[in-house]
Amino acid sequence: MNIPLVDLKAQYDQVRTEVRSAIDNVLSNTAFIGGEQVRIFEEGFAKYVGVNHCISCGNGTDALVLALKGLGIGPGHEVIVPANSFIATSEAVTCVGGRPVFVDCDEATYNLDSTLVEAAVTSNTKAIIAVHLYGMPGPMKELAAIAEKHGLFLIEDASQAHGAKLGERSVGTMSDVATFSFYPGKNLGAYGDAGAVVTNRKNLAEFIAKYANHGRSAKYDHDMEGVNSRMDGLQAAVLNVKLKYLDSWLEKRIAIAAKYRELLDAKQYRYTLPLENVRHVYHLFVVRVHRRADILKELAHKGIQAGIHYPIALPFLNAYKHLNHISADFPVAHKLADEILSLPIYPELTQMQVEYVATHLNAAVKPLTKEAP
Ligand SMILES: *Cc1c(COP(=O)(O)O)cnc(C)c1O
């Protein structure tokens, strides 16, 4: 048995005919940048999320940069970001000239710990970026209250959480502006880089659309200098095919996660239980284990590829060495980084494969925990 962390080929096999014909259409129409497929995607994705505006762009990192730029965030400004995320979240803040300020995460959800956010607010703070990590919605109600009280913008980095919900509300609708990545491995993935910004604010949407396209007002007329961050027609065509299947794929991820929870020996692990009334879309299924290196080795030996997201929390990366953070500054993120393990999860994973992973993980963990102090 050989079980990868994700299997993009299995998904391609399902949509192959449709995707090939969609790609062929783009090639025939030569609408390589922007064009009809991009417009269709922007409309379809805005509708899917439940917002008025979707602006497509080059990738999920650019989407964050565009959102921050659109909100006027720049030099001298601080933006609160979670200590446990992919570097793009904090990188985007630095990219616009701002300063990322890390806040520790909540051990139960792996998301930003909203009870620690207020202490990080200063007179320079302009925004909070909530990341819906692993597909689990962040504490938006609590963060919105803090943002309101201190006059801060609230941004959602929903790159890992397309289609996730908090009660009736979809991620992407609970902030001033939200961003998505369509990196191939994400729950909705293109066949290259792609991203999007969504918002209900018309002026913000117009600014971002213009800024992402060289500040262009007409073909060779420019209101301002901008950047080049656009979705290409081929990616939009692929995404238009896949968007139709997204909800059925998410339901499969949710069912696989439920199966993992049923089969994993609960006493041996800690994993996030789905909160009531939350649609966690399981971009990743993460468990916590002791002696992770040994377990990874055992799993690899059985042909199971597990992952770590992420092995080093953001404040402790070399990229942020200059901030001189010590582990005691972010005790939860520091501890999680040593224990978290991402199990294979993708819609096409079969029941038998889930059972195989669970069986071998239970076997690998047991003898180790017995010896553990
Ligand atoms: C993937 C990801 C991004 C960046 O997306 P790219 O499309 O790879 O630039 C940003 N934030 C989070 C949380 C991500 O997982």
For residue 373, the model assigns a pLDDT of 43
Over residues 68-79, the pLDDT tens digits come to 999 999 999 999
Q: Give 364 Cα–ligand 1 centroid separation in angstroms.
A: 32
Res 368: pLDDT? 55
The pLDDT value given to residue 29? 95
Separation of alpha carbons 194 and 196, rounded Å = 7
Ligand 1 site, residue 160, Cβ cutoff 6 A: yes
Q: Ligand 1 centre and the CA of 368: distance in Å?
A: 34
Closest ligand 1 atom to Cα of 193: 7
Write the residue with the smallest CA distance to atom 2 of ligand 1: 159
Q: Which of 86, 232, 282 to mutate to test the pocket of ligand 1 (most atoms within 8 A of CB)?
A: 86
Instruction: Find out whether the beta carbon of 51 lies less than 6 Å from any atom of ligand 1.
Output: no
Q: Determine the distance separating the centroid of ligand 1 and the alpha carbon of 327, expressed in angstroms.
A: 25
Please report the pLDDT score of residue 366 as a whole number.
79
Q: State the CB neighbour count (10 A cutoff) for residue 40.
A: 15
The CB of 159 under 6 Å from ligand 1? The reply is: yes
- Tens-digit pLDDT profile for residues 270-326: 777 778 899 999 999 999 999 999 999 999 999 999 999 999 999 999 999 999 999
Q: Give me ligand 1 centre to Cα 86, in Å.
A: 7
| Residue located nearest, by CA, to atom 6 of ligand 1 | 60
- Find out whether the beta carbon of 156 lies less than 6 Å from any atom of ligand 1: no
Q: Which residue stretches of the chain have pLDDT < 50?
A: 372-373
**How far is the C-alpha of 328 from the C-alpha of 259, rounded, in Å?**
36
By alpha-carbon position, which residue is closest to atom 7 of ligand 1? 60
Q: Is 181 in the pocket of ligand 1 (CB under 6 A)?
A: yes
Q: Is the CB of 85 under 6 A from ligand 1?
A: yes
For residue 267, the CA-to-ligand 1 centroid distance in Å is: 33
* Residues 6+ away with beta carbon under 8 Å from 226: 210, 211, 212, 213, 214, 215, 216
**Does ligand 1 come within 6 angstroms of the Cβ of 155?**
no
Instruction: Tell me how far the alpha carbon of residue 195 lies from the centroid of ligand 1, in angstroms.
Output: 9
Nearest CA-CA partner of 70 in 171, 183, 131, 155? 155
Q: Which atom of ligand 1 is nearest to the CA of 63?
A: 9
The confidence score (pLDDT) of residue 275 equals 81
Ligand 1 binding pocket mutation candidate from 129, 159, 191, 283 (most atoms within 8 A of CB): 159
Q: What is the pLDDT of residue 267?
A: 77
